[in-house]
Structure 1
């Protein structure tokens, strides 16, 4: 049986931020992890608008496209539909201990915070929370209203990490990819996954990041 610490769950929902999601997926695969991937129907719309990438609804077809795009090895990437309740991520006995929702729509934020579990993404997040695993949510919305903030507080109190898509500028970004890498680097840091996307604060800030990783 595959070791759960060699795998990670990634969910992509319908907030703006497709570049973050694709870059994170590339880096996770590049690190050698097996990735359990779920993409909401709204996220596919965002991919088409922001990246010109039209992903099919069928999980198997989507999996083939992304595996080829990122040169994933055989069986390294698995894509699930929203009602595949017999997938490993739906149960505490089979789900990876780590999960990222990037980007995280405010609708998904609300569903996870209230334990709705109507889709596999919501159920997978609920599993990670109940098993005391590591759940990172990357909301991309502005401004936040009181409902959004309350849901973030609720999830934080449950042990999740809320990491809004708020890239910094102290690394003197020259292009959009630099801002994307800033956020993805912070996500990887919290997951304890090595990367070379950008220099760390206080350790050679003038070093140039390696944009071709992943």
Structure 2
């Protein structure tokens, strides 16, 4: 890609850090440039779930993404003077994956008290794509009201809900499906999962046993 697109990716303290890591890997593999934000709680989850050595954060990012890390700009979460804090800095959009309910609430209420929330606020005010991937269950009324408020503002809410019609065999299959759904919502090409209706080794002919409605 001669002119790589710039995307912001946020990783918060919600469980499911692998989703955000796989998303960054996919964007880099497609030739894009990533502005990476990780909350303090997000760093803890990366350590707990993926064994990242979080005391040396830049080194941890380079180790995770290899040579492609040259196309990552990491921003400390408290750097409210960073480029992505301004609407005049051009990016294609932003994804927070996974998105904690605390971060989702901050965005819904426009608090902008750190760079994650501020960058998301910029996406909304500039009319740029913003995708949030909440990973929480069960959800109470405040969670749902905040998501409804953001959805009405044009924010895409993509809950971390795996599908099974494509017959996933591994945890990677499930992770790739969720990341692929996010990329689909942003019209970014990928080959992370087999789509409904595409030939695959698990396909079955329609019978009375199977619902022929197209899955989501």
Deviations 1:103-137 (A, max 9, x none): 00000010000000000000000000000000000
Alignment size in residue pairs: 202
TM-score normalised by the chain length of structure 2: 0.88
Q: Is the 8 A contact 1:63 1:78 kept in 2?
A: no
Q: Which residue is 1:67 aligned to? A: 62
Answering whether residue 180 of structure 2 is matched by residue 185 of structure 1, we say: yes
- Say which SS state the counterpart of residue 66 (structure 2) adopts: coil
Distance in 2 of aligned mates of 1:7 and 1:63: 19
Q: Which of 126, 135, 138 is 2:130 aligned to?
A: 135
1:104–1:140 contact (8 Å) kept in structure 2? yes
Q: CA deviation at 1:32?
A: 0.9
Output the TM-score relative to the length of structure 1. 0.88
Q: Show the 5 A alignment for 1:1-214.
A: 6-56=5-55, 61-73=56-68, 75-206=70-201
- Shift of the alpha carbon at 1:47? 1.0
Classify the secondary structure of the residue corresponding to 1:48.
helix
Q: The residue matched to 1:170 in structure 2 has which SS?
A: coil
Relative to 1, partners in 2 of residues 1:27 and 1:33: Cα closer, same or farther, differing over 3 Å?
same
List per-residue Cα deviations over 1:5-47 (Å, max 9, x = no partner).
Answer: 7100000000000111111111111111110001001011111
Taking the aligned partners of 2:84 and 2:129, their CA distance within structure 1 comes to: 13
C-alpha distance in 2, partners of 1:32/1:63? Answer: 21
Q: Deviations over 1:54-110 (max 9, x none)?
A: 223xxxx52343234323447410101122122121000004131000000000010
Name the CA distance, whole Å, in 1 between partners of 2:153 and 2:182: 19
Q: For residue 212 of structure 1, what is the aligned residue in structure 2?
A: none
| 8 Å CA contact retained: 1:199, 1:207 | no
- The CA distance in 2 between the partners of 1:41 and 1:74, in whole Å, is 20
Larger Rg: 2
Q: Which runs of 4+ in 1 moved over 4 A?
A: none
- The 3 A distance-change label for structure 1 pair 205 and 146 is farther
1:130/1:207 Cα in 2 relative to 1: closer, same or farther (>3 Å)? farther
> Is the CA contact 2:14–2:100 (under 8 Å) kept in the aligned structure 1?
yes
Distance 1:30 1:99 in 2: 17
Unaligned runs of 5+ in 1: 209-214
CA distance in 2, matches of 1:137, 1:29: 19
Cα distance in 2 for residues equivalent to 1:194 and 1:35: 16
Instruction: Report the aligned-residue RMSD.
Output: 1.9
> Which blocks of at least 5 consecutive residues in structure 2 are unaligned?
204-216
Judge conservation of contact 1:35–1:77 (CA < 8 Å) in 2.
yes
Q: Write the distance in 2 (CA, Å) between the matches of 1:74 and 1:165.
A: 26
